[in-house]
Structure 1
Amino acid sequence: MTVNEIVRDAVLAGAGLPIPSGPDARIVVPIPSERLQNLVELARTVCGQPVTAINIITEDLQYQVATAGIDPHMCAREDSMCAVGFLSGAPTVLEDASLDPRYSGNPYVDGRRGRVRFYASIPLITDDGFVLGTLCAGSRETGRISDEQLRGLEILAAQVVDVLHLEHRARQLAGALAEAERSNGLLAEFAGRISHDLRNPLTTILGYVELAEMDAEAGDDGHSSDYLDIVGNTGRRMLSMVEDVLAFATIGGDLHPAHLSLPELVQDVVEDLAAILQESGASIDCGELTFTADAGQTRVLLQNLIHNAVAYRRPRVPPVIHITGHRGEEGAVLRVIDNGKGIGPADRERVLDPLVRLHREGDPPGSGLGLATCARIAAAAGGRLEIGPIPDVGTIVTVHLGPHS
């Protein structure tokens, strides 16, 4: 899709103008933008005709985004008068459309939907030659316009194109600002969680260092080795958290797509997690799928999901993990299904946020970044991650890897 096609579609999807469900439906729309409405009203004044409209024409539809003299409506492109010749890039002016063989059988001319006689249409052409639609004028009476009036409509058509681009850019800017505000909020929340999660182990370390110093001043070194063990373990946990945070921060950067085999990726992960898989008695089976994705990030995704399936298993129940893959409408879809504790409906969205842990009885310690990392990998690939239940117990994690997989 070209930039101009995106602009055209953004007029329909992003300007607050919903597309009705049927091609013949009347449109109930918010008030058009003041600038577009002013231009279409000015066009009516310039040409002296009772009806003018700004039309955006897509592959299937003609959509009126501003009108004067009629209510806006939508029709199938095959029924549109403007769609007949707008791609030529030249204006069309007909004193009586019923006498032109290109238009005489059109439903807006032959009485099925209207009886248009005078008709003028100016293509809306971007600087690089893309035709978005038309600025048109019409009447039930035959008529004509002067060369000066036609030139005025052409100038207004150029202004319509400029306004459509300007409003599209304004919506993009508003979206970017909203996303920046959302990102800043998430960053502040993330920083708050990090500072909280690092403050506790640091307090522990400093506390035991002070105890060791006090014992040293008192000439009692009997507990020093115990203190050092605690400090070392706590420091290692902090280091692991810092490494998790750094890994999360770098996920989703430059992607290097490659042809991948799902069974081969899973086998690599099984070898990496061999110790915990053997200790837990886990069993894993994997279906066949060849797809395109970043090898390193997809391996991290599968490793996190398989590790979670083992870490959050039910007491005294060996983990059983099924990994499947297939091709959907939006690209490759991976599923990791386990028989573990599961995640309740209220928590399935929340656990995808960074540093969120459920703190359930028997849960192992963690950084709360595993699922957030998986969600970020899926998003970087142009897809998404969803968490759902399975009928009895356990969790199913579905990863859509996007259209390029």
Structure 2
Amino acid sequence: MTTSTRDRAFPVPADEQERLRSLAEYGIVGAPELPDLPSVVALAAYVCGVPNAVVNIIGATQQHQLGAYGFEGGACAREDSMCAISMVEPEMVVVRDATLDPRFEQNPFVTGEINHVRFYASAQLRDRDGHVLGALCVFDQKPHDLTPQQREGLDKLARMVMDVIDLHRHSRLLEQALDQVHRTGRELQRSNASLQHFAGQVSHDLKNPLTGVLGFVAMLADVPAVAADPIAKRSVDKALSSATRMWRMIEDVLSHASVGGRPSFTDVSLDSVAHQVVDDLATSIAAARATVEIEPLPTVHGDVTQLRVLIQNLVSNAVKFRDPGRPCRIRLTGEETPAGWTLSIADNGIGIPAEDRPRVLEMFTRLNTDVEGSGIGLATCQRIVEAHDAALVIDETPGGGTTMRITLPKPFDRLSLVPLG
């Protein structure tokens, strides 16, 4: 079909900008023809008993014809479009003879400049928000009428056209989502490779000075004066134990990074891990004049390195965020529940407001900037919890403070393992 351009005004809907944004989201203008559209358009011509039918999509300046039946579709200026006029009407437009209708009598599709349309009918194509994207149009070169049944059929077919267009939009969104997943996967692989390299480098850099510390402490242990002094010997033994445990943790972190952050599950005595953590934090606990009470804790199924980091971060936080107006008390308890094992770490510190509790688990979040920290500790705890298919709940301790509850599933309850990293 030929095109024509002229400086003629066309009606603009009140929601024009929203309508054009919706049309852009559908992505049908300029896209390959929608495969199901020609069949629906042909059915419209058959139902209405006319030789021509088409889906006219009205853009900002042009009309785009999709799925044309009875002629070759194309594009024309919006001011030449009959559907650009009918799209602002409140209901379906049916015109027996367009030469007798003042809305269309001077239109180039009617006057012969483009075509000799006489009969014209169109049903609007509305998106789910009510914006009119165009119309399903049927026409003939001779006058014609539609029965009520034909009008109803044309209206139903217009809704079917929108179903086809919606399906295309959802397919586009799905393709975009899949593309994003693939790109995210590639970025994650690159990020994991960088993380593994970084962890390896950091582990190597930490080992060098730690090797010196281990050697020096081991040498002290062999000094006769130290061996003869119970207090000195106990201090050296504790330092040697802590340094050895740190060495093992560095080895575990390096191994953890080298396998892509996947937890290594085994039976873990939380009681033993908790006491080790308290020993490692003995200096800071003593400086805060804190009291740490450890009730008998269960043996659970998990990654010993990650669970040690989890408990250490939570106990360390309880010490750091103590209430200066009263002695710091921290209590670790455990119980078996139908869902698994629950570890509770309760303190009587300054507490966390209820509205801030979800946010403190995010990376680099610091509610109290007066206390030294990086805002990484609780985010790390959250990742460890996710890696164990566990649940972390932040509650208020009766009387004030924070209680952290971690529920670890039993092995037969574990449905999936989420890699940490």
TM-score by length of 2: 0.45
